[in-house]
Structure 1
């Protein structure tokens, strides 16, 4: 199998990511034109990890973002449903003492209720077959007052930027993928999934519907990427 389709069957998407795991980080850096580290830094800052906290990084892939969070001294659980990604991640991040990898489905997390101080997902929510269910699962495993940070590709609000990004996605990105990826056809799916993903306001509405409060977002790179944040409401005092 070379790629998944927009039906996002979990087994197909997992197999596709297994195939691209070895060169995934390098390809992302190329396709983002060097912006990937900036997006990761912005996400880490938004999560604001502190020593003693337990943080869940969903769709963690090879653990690059998880390792960034772990430098704070917080305990990080890197969850992903691709065994290939986890294998590469465990090898690359073996030197990080407070980071563990767990194979997990974002819609059926194998963790107890209210067990994390923060939950985050970067460039993975759009690959989940039921993102609304995943947002509810994130709420379940977060402690009251726990934080949610979602970093995901989005839709540039300015027409000129949107048009330029469209040209890049359709004509430039496929050529870069052929040069840097171990499976260039898999990135056809990733590009299509970005185009099909809802805009910033719609995702914010989904997060609220899942039960999160204090929902807000800000654009990165002129809206090519959006960073959504929210907080799990504390139980009402009777």
Structure 2
């Protein structure tokens, strides 16, 4: 399977990510013009973690985001349902677990903080994924969702959408091991809810004190919340 559809069949999505794993990190850096590094640092800062914290990095892919989180001194585990992605990050010295976001293989209240970067959009039932993240988080624990979102400037938003649908697949053909997957990426970003709607869905999943902060003009948003 070279790419998934917006129905987000879990087997198709996992297969698609297995197919892009080999060059996933370099492709992301090229397509984001290097902004991916800044987004990872912003996620770590927003999560407010440190030594003594147990942290779940869901949809961690090759665990590059988990390594960033671990720089805080917290104990961080990478989880992803693409075994190929986890294997591509085998050299990264953090714990790795294969698991489905809608049925996490962790006990209730296992983590002080949880995060998911550019992954909730790919979960077939993202509301179930948000509820599972709440289940495995201790009361008072923290959530940060880093995800593509809606640019705040209308003109910039129009240019961005043109880039998504035209330039992004072309660039992906030059650097990705599976460029067709990036057509899905563009489609899924355009279909994803804006910042206020995602905040509502996070609250509906049982999280409190939901707020968000835009990065890179709203191309990406950090949604933060606390488990009551």
Q: How is 1:1-238 mapped onto 2 (pairs within 5 angstroms)?
A: 1-91=1-91, 93=92, 96=93, 99-233=94-228
What do the CA deviations read for 1:146-174 (whole angstroms, capped 9, x no partner)? 00000000011221111110121122212
Cα distance in 2 for partners of 1:228, 1:158 equals: 19
Cα distance in 2 for partners of 1:188, 1:144 equals: 39
TM-score (norm: length of structure 1): 0.94
Q: How much does 1:197 deviate?
A: 0.5
Cα distance in 1 for partners of 2:167, 2:16 equals: 22
Structure 1: gaps spanning 5 or more residues: 234-238
Count how many residue pairs are aligned between Structure 1 and Structure 2. Answer: 228
TM-score (norm: length of structure 2): 0.98
* 3-state SS, counterpart of residue 90 of structure 1: coil
Structure 2: gaps spanning 5 or more residues: none
Q: How much does 1:48 deviate?
A: 1.9
* 3-state SS, counterpart of residue 78 of structure 1: strand
What do the CA deviations read for 1:11-44 (whole angstroms, capped 9, x no partner)? 1000000000010000000110111101111001
* 3-state SS, counterpart of residue 95 of structure 2: strand
Which runs of at least 4 in structure 1 moved beyond 6 Å after TM superposition? none
Larger Rg: 1
Cα distance in 2 for partners of 1:25, 1:113 equals: 32
Cα distance in 1 for partners of 2:51, 2:26 equals: 29
